[in-house]
A and B are shown apart, each in its own frame.
Chain A
Amino acid sequence: MRFYEYESKALFARHGLPLSKSGLAHSREDARRIAAEIAGPVVLKSQVLSGGRMKAGAVKFADTPDEAAAHYDAIVPIVVSGQKCRAVLVEEKSQVQQEYYAGVTWDGRRKLPVVIFSDMGGIDIEQVAERHPDHVSKTHASTLLPPMPYLAKEAAAKTGVSGADLTRLAPIVSRLIEIFFRYDLTLAEINPLAKLEDGRFVVLDGHVDLEGDARPKHEKLLAELGIRPEETRQARPPTDFEVRGAQVDAGDHRGVAGNVVEFDGNLGLVIGAGGGSLTLFDAVRKHGGRPANYCEIGGNPSVKKACALTKLVLSKPGVEKLAVMMNVVSNTRVDIVARGVVKGCIESGRDPAKTIAIFRIPGSWEQEGFKILKKYGVEYCDRTVSMYEAAGRAVMKMKA
């Protein structure tokens, strides 16, 4: 769950991270008043849950309170990556000498938290990592031991930071690591972390993502930051397709057939099983396939539910075929899912044999499921075919 910049900074402020003077404006009068209080040049930043604000013109600089008020009016209507402006952060403009990047997130491969630091902040960290790998350090933290202050120092020192700069930077990065662990975050990021002309360091922009499942644990914090329980804080508003996916899931208590995310490809996916969705989605892309959607099925959905999800995916314009794939299932019945997807194809006016590129769900009641698939001429495979291989077969059929 994403935090707005002003919320991230409010969290940082609680832990003593250095911030510029700022205030949140909900009107042009607010913007004028805050700029007057700061009594110097300011930057006005639209509060949206996405990047790309500068390019969209949603960040502007003002030298006077009147200019700040005018910029407020210009910024508010700007929609950035589908996100409407919630408010405008009016912040003291800093005289920056150098920009750094500091972030803490999870390394999915190592299954450990990782502290990422760069002395080339301000721009996309992925690009820096690609073009200037010597300017980016990655330092893994332990999930068993409490975060140690040396981690921060090590992360910064690896990029060549030394002396007084290292002494000043290390406590900031160290606090960021503490915040990451304390609040069950999936990302805590400062970019840019600026070195000012007077040698001080200040957080110019921050980004925090809270693990969705940790929301109940941090109810108090969320309430104090003004985040209401009903705010889902997705990266963008759900599409109509995604809303209908949620309705499919909510319409029947049996199992899961939802968490639908829309993409622009031509291969519809009915996938799932304990992380299987992510693996399979990645496998399809790795083979050069273009998924039309992401979704999650599991927990033994009813035939009606699997059918409804299939129909929804097939209703998406441009979907040519369907790949039905899961990891080995124990609490989902293969035959029930098989009935659902075959029925979904037929009720959509499509031939299951031509529509289902591959059915790879091994596990409980698979023989019964395979009988159904055989009857309808659907290509299926058992656990001797890996998820990766099954995804490859589906993609190959799309290319044929």
Chain B
Amino acid sequence: MPGMFIDVLVDPKAASDAALVKKLVEVCPVNIFAAQEGGGLRIVEENLDECVLCDLCVQAAPPGAVRVIKRYES
């Protein structure tokens, strides 16, 4: 479920890349990403609205693999 203001979409292929998952968990300052047990990426929904729009996740991933949506712009 998206946040009230922010949604983060991750390409399924990128979400299953263990190295990228580790990187996303590491770079996000507000803990939006978590590693799922048994592998894969989990979006921590309760933290979505804390997104500070730093773009670090977007820069850490291959182009287009992570998208940060400002829901208030739609």
Contact = CB atoms under 8 A, between A and B. Distances in A.
Contacts of A269: none
Interface string A318-340: 00000000000000010110010
Contacts of A368: 53
Given A303-B49, A303-B50, A339-B49, A346 B72 contact: no
A207 interface: no
B5 A339 contact: yes
Which secondary structure dominates chain A's binding surface? helix
Nearest to A374: B72
Contacts of A304: 50
B52 A336 contact: yes
A111 to B, nearest CB: 37
A371 B5 CA distance: 11
Interface residues of B, number: 10
A302 B72 contact: no
A343 interface: yes
A303 B49 CA distance: 7
B72 A372 contact: yes
B73 interface: yes
A346 B52 contact: no
Contacts of A399: none
A339 to B, nearest CB: 5
B4 interface: yes
Interface string A353-373: 000000000000000100110
Interface in B25-70: 30, 49-50, 52-53, 70
Contacts of A302: 30, 50
B5 A372 contact: yes
B4 to A, nearest CB: 6
A371 B4 contact: no
Nearest to A371: B72
Contacts of A335: 53
A346 B49 CA distance: 14
Contacts of B49: 303, 339, 343
Nearest to A339: B5
A391 to B, nearest CB: 26
A368 B5 CA distance: 11
A228 interface: no
Contact of B52 (A333, A371, A375, A376): A333
A375 B30 CA distance: 24
Contacts of A375: 72-73
Interface of B: 4-5, 30, 49-50, 52-53, 70, 72-73
8 cross-chain pairs, A with B, having the tightest CB-CB distances, nearest first: A375-B72, A372-B72, A303-B49, A339-B5, A303-B50, A343-B4, A302-B50, A371-B72
16 contacts: A303-B5, A303-B49, A303-B50, A304-B50, A336-B52, A339-B4, A339-B49, A342-B4, A343-B4, A343-B5, A346-B4, A368-B53, A371-B72, A371-B73, A375-B73, A376-B72
Interface of A: 302-304, 333, 335-336, 339, 342-343, 346, 368, 371-372, 375-376
